[in-house]
Chains A and B, each alone.
Chain A
Amino acid sequence: GAVVSQHPSRVICKSGTSVKIECRSLDFQATTMFWYRQFPKQSLMLMATSNEGSKATYEQGVEKDKFLINHASLTLSTLTVTSAHPEDSSFYICSATPAGQGAGGYTFGSGTRLTVV
């Protein structure tokens, strides 16, 4: 089955630094990947849609200059949290589905727990 690998699983960084999170589709190509954010005991909130070879589409209220998304290949999307602050601490999850599969079930990465101190 489709596998999405997300790295790192856990990261602690200092305020003001930047953190990069990788999302890879291991056995399929994904023209589109999605990035979600999840606060404790809450649901997933879509942050942005990552499109291979073009600019990401951000949801309303998500700062594109703070959450930089790069989708340079059909198997890799990265989310960079720039100038991180404690309020950026959260659980970040990516998802993808094989191209051409249509509106089916998505495969999710295992998530990244970001703690900004």
Chain B
Amino acid sequence: SQQGEEDPQALSIQEGENATMNCSYKTSINNLQWYRQNSGRGLVHLILIRSNEREKHSGRLRVTLDTSKKSSSLLITASRAADTASYFCAFYGSSNTGKLIFGQGTTLQVKP
């Protein structure tokens, strides 16, 4: 399966703490993306990191990419209760047909 793997599957933290989610994949990639999904809703694109980048920031989000280890991490700093959601990494399959393959997701709960 080309599907990415994420860990942890579930994460529960207190407001103000940092949350780190990890994603591993098996194929070669051009870029890796992170999405957020609130319960029962569609996905929102958070950030994209290209294969030649090692780190990228967007507000309270920090994404790293290690292509040698085929892994990426998403760090949310100073978490808020509103960050409670599921987070998915996604990347294009090796056949490069534009098909986005998703990781299994991490469910984050931020307690106020």
**A46 cross-chain contacts in B, Cβ below 8 A:** 99-101
Q: Is the CB of A44 within 8 A of B40?
A: no
Q: Is the interface of B mostly helix, strand, loop or mixed?
A: strand
**Contact count band on A:** 20 to 34
In the assembled complex, how far is the CB of residue B85 from the closest CB belonging to chain A, in whole angstroms?
A: 13
| Chain B interface size, under 10 / 10 to 19 / 20 to 34 / 35 or more | 20 to 34
B47-72 vs A: 1/0 string, CB under 8 Å? Answer: 01000000000000000000000000
With contacts A93-B42, A103-B92, A109-B42 taken as known, whether A42 is within 8 angstroms of B104 at the C-beta atoms is yes
The 8 closest A-B pairs by CB, nearest first: A105-B45, A110-B42, A108-B43, A108-B42, A44-B102, A43-B104, A43-B102, A111-B42
Given contacts A93-B42, A93-B43, A106-B100, 10 further A-B contacts (CB under 8 A): A32-B98, A34-B100, A42-B104, A42-B105, A45-B102, A46-B99, A46-B100, A103-B30, A104-B48, A105-B48
Interface residues of B (CB under 8 A from A): 3, 30-31, 33, 35, 40-45, 48, 88, 92, 97-105, 107
Q: Contact residues of A with B, CB < 8 Å?
A: 4, 6, 32, 34, 36, 41-46, 49, 57, 91, 93, 95, 103-111, 113
